[in-house]
Amino acid sequence: MIAYNIIDLDNRVVQDQAGKAYEKKCISPEEREKIKVRYPCGFYTPNMYMRIGLFLLTLVIVAFSVGLLAFMILMANGNGFGSLMIFCGLASYVVLEYMVRGKKHFRSGVADGLLWMAVILLVSGLVVVMEPGYLVGYMIVLVFAFGGWLRFSDRVMALVAYAALLGVVFYLVPHLGEMGKLIMSFVLMGVSVAVYFLCVPFSSDERARHYHDSLVLIKAACLISFYLAGNYFVVREAGIAFFNRGADAIVPMGWLFWTLTIVTPLFYLYHGIQKKDRVYLWVGLGLIAATVYTIRHYYRILPIELAMTIGGILLILIAYVVNTYLKNPRQGFTSAETNDRHWIESPHIESLIIAETLAPVASPAESDFRFGGGSGGGGGAGGDY
């Protein structure tokens, strides 16, 4: 299913973990080099700056190519622009497969740009040709984004696919009539929970190991979408914008949405602290800000300047107290930089390092030869060495 060579993907993971182990001084430079030789990876993956440049350059090249072809076709024939976009999308995908399979590009910027342009052109071309409504449009996005994620394990494409799924549900449920509008929030929360628990077993499945990063992002997106679906502000404003409710309309079961708005981030924080789960911690901290904004939007107790000043002082005091308290590790938490040793404890990497450590290494024989002092030419010549 995945386009990349599985052996190269596995070797890349081994090399990345070996690099982290070297940074933590768990292995020697010689062991790191032996691991690179033993587990070669043929991918072309430039540094971040080069990747960004190649990504932008790819977008510009494809966009100008499509524009030139569109200009030529529109000059000869006034229609056919949608078909042209579909053709260019297919051509971009063919080039993408060649770059990935033939040239072994992996997150090189070129592959990312071709993937995004292929999906955008195919979706846009189908929308121009078919002129579908929002529901069918989101379905098209879901199909191509999900396929792009499965084929190339693109993390952002996974988020697009999940957002498209929520869009499909959002425009599908109202077909049930007024009842669909009333249960919309609960359906979206149910979809968020279902997708989250669908991702949980795959996150620990060895067969889906090359999708683990994407699954973490999807789980975080599920936590956020569950909160937003039950947030009082979102429910009220969405009802006004999409379901023609009046600005002064009362939100059905408003007390329940206020409860979810306040309790959900606190539950995320509690679960994150209890389970040592960073995803829950970061999402919970971020959503507390959304909860504060929601409460302040409807109940303005203090002027904004005074509220921000007091909030900033409280955050500084809390950060100081927590950092001071966690200088010494307590209950699995610390304010010091951690070594993140969980990856080094995995069986295959541990066995690899043990094997490389115990393997016979040809050590150079000790020699009493020392360089003599120099009197001319080289900078710093002279001395005992």
Quick check: 222 and 196 in contact, CB under 8 A?
A: yes
Cβ within 8 Å of residue 332, ≥6 positions away: 276
Report the distance separating Cα 94 and Cα 88, nearest Å: 10
pLDDT for residue 5 is more than 80: yes
pLDDT for residue 327 is more than 90: no
pLDDT band at 102 (very low <50, low <70, confident <90, very high): confident
pLDDT band at 352 (very low <50, low <70, confident <90, very high): very low
pLDDT for residue 368 is more than 70: no
pLDDT for residue 350 is more than 50: no
Cβ-count burial of 383 within 10 angstroms (0-12 exposed, 13-18 middle, 19+ buried)?
exposed
Report the distance separating Cα 347 and Cα 343, nearest Å: 9
Looking at per-residue confidence, does 310 or 62 come out higher? 62
Looking at the chain, the whole-number percentage of residues with pLDDT higher than 90 is: 31
Instruction: Quote the mean pLDDT of the chain.
Output: 81
| Identity of the residue numbered 158 | A
pLDDT score of 21: 85
| Most confident residue range from 37-41, 105-109, 140-144, 295-299 | 140-144
pLDDT for residue 86 is more than 60: yes
pLDDT tens track for 134-193 = 899 999 999 999 999 999 989 999 999 999 999 999 999 888 877 887 888 999 999 999
For residue 346, the SS3 value is coil
Helix axis angle, 110-130 to 134-152, nearest 10° = 160
pLDDT score of 294: 86
pLDDT band at 87 (very low <50, low <70, confident <90, very high): very high
Quick check: 111 and 100 in contact, CB under 8 A?
A: yes
Q: Mean pLDDT across the stretch 237-255?
A: 76
Q: Mean pLDDT across the stretch 91-109?
A: 91
How far, CA to CA in Å, does 221 sit from each of 9, 145, 158?
25, 16, 10
Looking at per-residue confidence, does 122 or 37 come out higher? 122
pLDDT for residue 207 is more than 60: yes
Q: Mean pLDDT across the stretch 13-35?
A: 85
